[in-house]
Amino acid sequence: MDKVFSLERLQDYFYRDLDDELTYYIEIPFHFNWNLFKKVTFNVKNNLDNSNFDAALAFVYLKNIVEFIRIYAKNPA
């Protein structure tokens, strides 16, 4: 499935979806396979006070492919 969207860069490696105020993207330096992604997500969720978010792997094709993790959170703070 493809999605077209607009991003605002908030700071290095961190973006906000301009069409969906609850969605953010974190640029990552390499491709996570599914097992590594599950381990990282599990560790993050179990070490935060607010673990009420959904995460998914994503990528964006700019001049080259940029790997991202998409974060959907109602209260990201």
User: What are 32-70's pLDDT values in tens digits?
Assistant: 899 998 998 898 888 888 888 888 888 877 677 778 878
- In this prediction, residue 1 has a pLDDT band, given cuts at 50, 70 and 90, of low
- In this prediction, residue 77 has a pLDDT band, given cuts at 50, 70 and 90, of low
Residue 13, C-beta contacts closer than 8 angstroms, at least 6 positions apart? 26, 27, 28
pTM score: 0.71
Q: Please state, in angstroms and rounded to a whole number, the distance separating the CA atoms of residues 46 and 42.
A: 6
- In this prediction, residue 11 has a pLDDT band, given cuts at 50, 70 and 90, of very high
